[in-house]
Amino acid sequence: MQQTLKERFKYWQFIIYMPIYLFFFVLAERMTTEVTYINIPLDDKIPFVEGFIVPYLLWFPFMALGIVYVFFMDKKEFLPMGWNLVIGMSLFLVVSFVFPNGLELRPEVFPRDNICTDLVKHLYSIDTSTNVIPSIHVFNSLACGISFGRVLAGRGHKIAAIASYAMAALICISTMFVKQHSILDVASGLILSGLCFFLLRGLYKHEADDKSNDV
């Protein structure tokens, strides 16, 4: 029975982490007063395109679907993915407290007036442009998208796997076109998520090899 509870906690501990993360996320937002602006001149070359708000907002159902699917279909893939997400969000919190940062990228006047622009305005009203590096939108999209795609491909759903990778890439790109993140935010999110992916895969592969040798 004790082993069963331990096995269960191994997977459900990630759910316990979420309210902890949200608490410190809100705390960082409220404590941030003075920030270092990290946008670079190259960011100004990227046009504002309100249509990218659609893939940007699809991040939420994409993450939910990916996490739930991997959890139920491949527990071995879920563990490194879960720790990848936890590491990324924890790194984000550390950076936010140690190095408060922000962006000055949002357009003062919107070039067009449509439903996508209205969605962007609403996003701006509820999400500040502070504490943006590394981009959690990007970090988590890559972490979830790769694992989601790997499980889909492993079960023979090749087209769905490609769609998972494509959606993750589109979400990452969208963050820059709706002026929520800069090139530095996106690059740091991609690099850190990629590093965590390979380190965790190596760690779990090593553990699996050790267990097989013990047998």
CA distances to 54, 74, 77 from 149, in Å: 21, 12, 11
pTM of structure? 0.88
Contact indicator for 179, 189 with CB cutoff of 8 Å: no
What is the pLDDT, as a whole number, of residue 153?
Answer: 95
Residue 209 included in any domain: yes
Domain that holds residue 138: 51-97+129-215
Instruction: Note whether residue 212 is domain-resident.
Output: yes
pLDDT at 97: 95
Domain count, the chain: 1
Give residues with Cβ within 8 angstroms of 177, minimum separation 6: 46, 47, 48, 49, 52
In a domain, 62, yes or no: yes
Render each residue's pLDDT in the chain as its tens digit; 215 residues: 445 656 666 777 888 899 999 999 999 988 878 899 999 999 999 999 999 999 999 999 999 999 999 999 998 899 999 999 999 999 999 999 999 999 999 999 999 999 999 999 999 999 989 999 999 999 999 999 999 999 999 999 999 999 999 999 999 999 999 999 999 999 999 999 999 988 888 776 655 444 443 43
Q: Assess if residue 25 is contained within a domain.
A: no
Q: Is residue 194 part of a domain?
A: yes
What is the tens place of the pLDDT at every residue in 78-130? 999 999 999 999 999 999 999 999 999 999 999 999 999 999 999 999 998 99
In a domain, 16, yes or no: no
pLDDT recorded at residue 213:
39
Instruction: Indicate whether 12 belongs to any domain.
Output: no
162 in a structural domain: yes
Closest CA to 97 of 52, 30, 147: 30
In 32-182, which residue ranges form alpha helices assigned H by DSSP? 53-57, 59-73, 75-98, 115-126, 136-154, 158-177
